Amino acid sequence: MLQIYNTASRRKEQFRPIDRQHVRMYVCGPTVYDFAHIGNARPVVVFDVVYRLLERLYPDVTYVRNITDVDDKINARAKETGEDIRTLTERTARQFHADVAALGALEPDVEPRATDHIQEMIAIIVELLDKGYAYHEDGHVLFHVPSMPKYGALSGHSRDELIAGARVEVAPYKRDPADFVLWKPSETSLPGWNSPWGRGRPGWHIECSAMSMKYLGQSFDIHGGGRDLIFPHHENELAQSRCAHPGSQYAKYWMHNGYLMAEGEKMSKSLGNFYTINELLQEFPGEAIRLALLQTHYRQPLDFTKESLRQAKHTLDRFYAALRGVADIAPGDAKADDVMAALLDDINTPLALSALHAALGDLNKAGTDAEKARLKAILLDGGEVMGLLQQDPEAWLRWQPTGGAGLSDGEIESLIARRAAARKAKDFGEADRVRAVLSENGVILEDKPQGTIWRRG
């Protein structure tokens, strides 16, 4: 039985889907104006594991992750660089897809774009106006927060607190300082759509309300995203959706991943610790990045460092070396029960990884082929649900960084042949010289009874 921590109740709960035959999950995706950074990668990887787990537990799962392609940051970036907005968003979305694919993330079932759902957003805004939860003022349509008594339940902020702490001057068209924008006017130079309130563009939160309803219905099971989205984004989404659709609960379970820091500091461009996925992929395999993200429980803060990546790479080297050793043994049909048990407890990936380590140790000690087949199956099964260990071991162990000036596979093989000849002639001085050359080029040798094997370290 799956248990997940629900932000709405601030406790771990039994996961009981609305429809046991069909689980529905919505996760906030990227705003496409720049390379995705490692902080964006965390929810992608975390909810990919959730998706993989749900797929094992339920007959049908629909996973929706949106792309925000209308946003003031996008407009600002396009103005700054002179690039056409559509070109910018398309290019960035493609880059995002390539990056997260390298991290082993499965594609969501639906990946809707905000600009394709403007009519759906307008429809919700009309509902809110009709029902008296919103008002039209000075070209803007605003959600009237005091009209919803339960506003603030998700984030734990009361409206009064918000007003007390307000540090921004309240716009004149607001009836209440807590009110937020559903629709705003657009100048001709900015993207805009015709609406009952003139040419304009949507507020930040309305897209997720519109798209989740279209693809998942008025109520669905899981809504995920980074902790930083709880307020105001998710709080406002929740308010809009519930008020537009009385009787619906919107998301039943809210899951939020913790913050990510880089090298001990909050990530920021001025500190120079702003790793993009793309640049990290030049230096490390995507699976190492994925493992580094999964080594910490998703709700904990995570300090992402190059050192943690080196360790993750090293860890995977050990797993793949063991898998290479049993490459010619077909996996049995054993299942990774301990891995599953850990994941069922609020996606405890660090504990799941320790179960994988236990299987690795057992595999290294295994004496019989039957035992090896069983343990290989466990590693592959447990790895699969976490999106790990599915590559060809040989390919993994030969991986080298982009633009690496190291030796080619052929050069390595011929040096190994030279060393083998020297060893056969008992010329260990020459053999060690050859190995030193390989070692300087990051190639590690292992002499086995059947011959010498190698990997890039």
Distance CA 349, CA 363 (A): 21
CB of 305 to RNA, least distance (A): 7
Nearer to RNA, 143 or 250 (CB): 143
**Shortest CB 179 distance to RNA, Å:** 7
Q: Which is nearer to RNA, 24 or 47 (CB)?
A: 47
CB 428 to RNA: min, Å: 3
440 touching RNA, by CB under 7 A: no
Toward RNA, which CB reaches closer, 206 or 251? 206
Cα gap 396→456, rounded to integer Å: 9
How far apart CA 351 and CA 341 sit, in angstroms, is 9
Task: From 172, 233, 171, select the one nearest 208 (Cα to Cα).
Answer: 233
SS3 222: strand
Smallest distance from the beta carbon of 301 to RNA, in angstroms?
6
Instruction: Tell which phi-psi region holds residue 297, choosing left (phi > 0), alpha (psi between -120 and 50) or beta.
Output: beta
Cα of 331 vs its chain's centroid, Å = 29
Closest CA to 209 of 125, 265, 91, 306: 125
Binding mask 205-234 for RNA (x = CB under 7 A): ----------------------xx--xxx-
Task: Report which residue type is found at 32.
Answer: V
Q: Compute the 3-state secondary structure of the chain and give helix, strand, coil in percent, each to the nearest 5.
A: 50, 15, 35
Q: Work out whether the CA dihedral 48, 99, 384, 296 comes out positive or negative.
A: negative
Residues 316-355 that bind RNA (CB under 7 A): 318, 321-322, 348, 350-351, 353-354
Q: Taking the complex as a whole, how short is the minimal distance between the CB of residue 189 and RNA, in angstroms?
A: 16
Q: If binding is defined by CB under 7 A, does position 192 make contact with RNA?
A: no
Do residues 104 and 51 lie in contact, with contact meaning Cβ atoms separated by under 8 Å? no
Q: How far is the CB of 21 from RNA (least distance, A)?
A: 31
175 binds RNA (CB under 7 A): no
Q: Which of 24, 315, 340, 377 forms a contact with RNA (CB under 7 A)?
A: 315
For residues 412 and 441, give the distance between their C-alpha atoms in angstroms, rounded to a whole number: 10
Site for RNA in 128-157 (CB under 7 A): 140, 142, 145, 155-157
Nearer to RNA, 58 or 173 (CB): 173
Positions in 5-64 near RNA (CB under 7 A): 10
| The only residue of 149, 165, 247, 403 in contact with RNA, by rule CB under 7 A | 165
User: In which residue are the tokens 């002639």 written?
Assistant: 425
- Residue-by-residue DSSP string for 356-413: HHHHHHHHHH--SHHHHHHHHHHHHHHHHHHT-S-S-HHHHHT---TT-----HHHHH
Q: Which of 59, 196, 301, 404: binder of RNA (CB under 7 A)? A: 301
For position 201 contacting RNA by CB under 7 A, the verdict is: no
From CA 347, how far away is CA 339, in angstroms rounded?
10
Among 83, 185, 432, 437, binds RNA (CB under 7 A): 432
Which residues within the stretch 67-126 sit at the binding site for RNA (CB under 7 A)? Answer: 71-73, 76
Residue 17 or 43: which CB sits closer to RNA? 43
Q: Is the dihedral of CA 80, 86, 89, 94 positive or negative?
A: negative
CB of 332 to RNA, least distance (A): 19
Stretch that binds RNA, among 15-23, 117-125, 257-265, 378-386 (CB under 7 A): 257-265
Of 295, 398, 406, 442, the residue at the interface with RNA (CB under 7 A) is 295
Q: Among 52, 59, 49, 61, which Cα is nearest to 23's?
A: 61
Among 6, 147, 240, 308, binds RNA (CB under 7 A): 308
Per CB under 7 A, does 376 bind RNA? Answer: no
Shortest Cβ 25–RNA spacing (Å): 21
- Rounded Cα distance between 152 and 180, Å, is 13
Contact 385, 340 (CB under 8 A): yes
In the list 204, 215, 220, 399, the residue contacting RNA (rule: CB under 7 A) is: 204
DSSP one-letter string for 98-165: HHHHHTTPPPPSB--BGGGGHHHHHHHHHHHHHTTSEEEETTEEEE-GGG-TTTTTTTT--HHHHHHH
Among 86, 131, 150, 314, binds RNA (CB under 7 A): 314
263 binds RNA (CB under 7 A): no
Which of these ranges, 17-25, 215-223, 315-323, 410-418, lies near RNA under the rule CB under 7 A? 315-323
Please identify which residue in 37, 113, 144, 184 interacts with RNA, judged by CB under 7 A: 184
Cα 7 to Cα 96, 235, 314: the distances in Å are 27, 11, 35
Which of the ranges 91-99, 103-111, 357-365, 406-414 carries the binding residues for RNA, by CB under 7 A? 357-365
